[in-house]
Amino acid sequence: MKETAYKPLESSSASSSRPTNLGSTVVLKGDLTGSEDLLVEGQFDGTINLREHCLTIGARGQVKAEIQATRVIIEGSVTGNITARERIEIRKTGRVMGDLVAPGIAIEDGAYFKGSIEILREEAREAAAAFSASAVEAAND
């Protein structure tokens, strides 16, 4: 079996350790909040909030969620809206059905995307971050 090595995503706030991994046999539902990078190879349904960290949806990952993270890389399937503080990347094996909001967005040839894209400028990004924080607090009440 060939093992794929995942390096921590480069970010000013990324930790120097390997990302936490939700393996291909894991099925998880709920609200996920974390303070480290995350790699999803299994199935997840709910919300993901990694505001200061990076999320990678691996090639076998299937996610139905509202996602907030610093960076998001999609190699698998995502249904739901994605907001990133820095960048969203949809790789050629990725499938996304939902809206994207980030200062930087890249979609590789061969990727599937259905939704809207909003490219944030610096001042809009700060306002979106404040709104997202209040929305998360309201959802937890």
Q: Give the pLDDT of the chain (141 residues) as one tens digit per residue.
A: 444 444 444 433 444 568 888 888 888 999 999 999 999 999 999 999 998 999 999 999 999 999 999 999 999 999 999 999 999 999 999 999 999 999 999 999 999 999 999 998 865 556 666 666 665 566 566
Residue 119: which H helix or E strand, with range? Answer: strand 117-119
The verdict on residue 15 lying in a domain is no
- For 113, phi then psi, to 5°, come to -145, 130
The verdict on residue 121 lying in a domain is yes
pTM summary value: 0.75
* Domains of the chain: total: 1
For residue 9, the model assigns a pLDDT of: 42
For residue 121, the model assigns a pLDDT of: 80
For residue 2, the model assigns a pLDDT of: 44
For residue 134, the model assigns a pLDDT of: 63
User: Domain range holding 47?
Assistant: 20-140
Distance in angstroms (rounded) separating the CA atoms of residues 43 and 34:
17
For residue 126, the model assigns a pLDDT of: 62
Distance in angstroms (rounded) separating the CA atoms of residues 71 and 49:
11
Q: How many Å is the Cα radius of gyration of the chain?
A: 14
The verdict on residue 43 lying in a domain is yes
For residue 13, the model assigns a pLDDT of: 41
